[in-house]
Structure formats: C-alpha cells, structure tokens
Amino acid sequence: MYEVFHRTWWKSNPNWPNGREPGVGESFHIAYTKTEEEAQAMCKEWNSNHYPGLLSDKAEYWDA
C-alpha cells in the first residue's frame, strides 16, 4: 500500500534570493493506492492538474 500526498519544497523567506528558502513542507494526504504503479499515475495526474506555484507544491508517494 502507498500513500499519495503533496507538499512544498520551499519556505517563504524575504531574506533569501527570490523570497524562497529551501525546506520540506508539511505533507497533505491525497489518497492510498494498492500498487506503486497506481501511486505513480496518481502523482502524475495530480501534478498535471495543479500548478506548483512559487513554493513547488508537488505530489509524491511513500510506502504506507
């Protein structure tokens, strides 16, 4: 079983170049899948339908 989630890879910080400081954001649950292939497909779909924005909010997965 795999958990699909999304999170950012930057923090807003006006003291850093472009106002972005590297940092792993909080994860937000999207769904559980039975196979890794389903998790990969769900991440690709979510990422293609959601603009990552300045903080690079993207879907990923891990073993649940």
Domain count, the chain: 1
Q: Checking phi first, is residue 14 left (phi over 0); if not, alpha (psi -120 to 50) or beta?
A: alpha
- Cα angle at 53 between 49 and 56, to 5 degrees? 95
Supply the pLDDT for residue 35: 98
Contact status, residue 46 vs residue 30, Cβ threshold 8 Å: yes
- Rounded CA-CA distance 11/46 in Å is 21
* Band of residue 34 on the pLDDT scale cut at 50, 70, 90: very high
Domain that holds residue 17: 2-63
Q: Is the pTM of this model over 0.85?
A: yes
